[in-house]
Structure 1
Amino acid sequence: AGAILPRWWAVAVPAIAMLISDLIIGFYHMPVMLTVYGSFIAVALFGVWLKNMQPHRIVLGSLASSTFFFLTTNFAVWASGTWYPKTLDGLMWAYTLGLPFFRNMMIGDVVFSGIVFVVFFLYKKMSFNYYALRFFNQSESD
């Protein structure tokens, strides 16, 4: 969202989508939920860096966003929950148990981001070609 939409929309669209889904599915542990929302907003703002839309930035941005989300949300689960001891070993255990989700999240984020940017690029290219064709066809008929 941050790479394609204006900054305000880049923050609002993911936050509103998450709020709607949480209203339907149900809310959960507030400290973790606030961390998830904050992480999504930070990632959306980070997407502004991707405005250049070069392929390496898309991949690196997706991987960095996935890593940031993984680190912050797993830390919040460890810090605010009762599942893990409040020790360095407990934190490492929380991160270790989250690794399968992290792998899948990275794959999904890179694939989804790639698809979104390819579709967006093709849309812009086709729109430009359409308007350029219309402009030149009008010029020829004058």
Structure 2
Amino acid sequence: MLKKIALIAAVASLAVGTASAHDAGKNAKVTLVFDHVLPNVPGKSMRGVLVEYGPGGYSPSHTHAKSSFIYATVLEGEIRSQVNKGEEKVYKAGESFVENPGDHHGVSANGSDTKPAKLLAVFVVDTDDTELTTPDK
């Protein structure tokens, strides 16, 4: 299943492009890999975002669109994550975590200084929301 998700993300990334113009962070690449209106949930869409961190890479602390529910799965390597000043956790390939509407993502980083890491974040979000991520000021 994990290989299937990675293959879908890789193929979709060829057609879609970068998710947003904000600062992706250090040694980080953020790519929108799919965007689909949910036909049975009026006003909602599902968007997939592939986040790739090089060794030591990270994203700045941030929040997401207020309507967004996020299910993130680590595809490769290890991801350090901290949500809402909770405990910082390390997720390994195949492990997942969620972010609820209004959550603050204080840490999102590669857990390694020597190996790359990737995660796929699947957003359920209001279709009209155009900015998925807002870095802290």
Name the TM-score, length of structure 2 as normaliser: 0.25
- Structure with max Cα Rg: 1
More strand by share: 2
Higher relative contact order (CA 8 A, sep 6+): 2
More helix by share: 1
